[in-house]
Amino acid sequence: MTTPTRDSNGAILAEGDTVTIIKDLKVKGSSTVLKRGTVVKNIHLTDDPAEIEGRTDKVKGLVLRTEFLKKA
């Protein structure tokens, strides 16, 4: 059985959930900064329970660590 993907508060994340970023994050390879409170809709789970894939208005194809997210 695989480990469930959990956000910073321990809530279980599922495919297609909406999450909010809880800390300003710099995007590697870009000068873009994702501000606290940015909403990431329709997430995709990865093989690693500590990471999810998502997209924002500014950046497509993001891989985010779940420790910086909370379920919206």
Here the CATH number for the domain that contains residue 48 is 2.30.30.40
- pTM (2 d.p.): 0.89
- Does 13 reside within a domain? no
Tens of pLDDT, residues 13-45: 999 999 999 999 999 988 999 999 999 999 999
Evaluate whether 5 touches 47 at the Cβ level (below 8 Å): no
- Does 3 reside within a domain? no
- Does 57 reside within a domain? yes
C-alpha span between 72 and 64 (Å, rounded): 15
Domains of the chain: total: 1
Q: Which residues contact 23 (CB under 8 A, 6 or more apart)?
A: 36, 68
- Does 8 reside within a domain? no
C-alpha span between 26 and 5 (Å, rounded): 22
53: exposed, middle or buried (C-beta count within 10 Å: 0-12, 13-18, 19+)?
A: middle
- Does 46 reside within a domain? yes
Task: Show the domain range for 44.
Answer: 19-71
Amino acid at 16: G
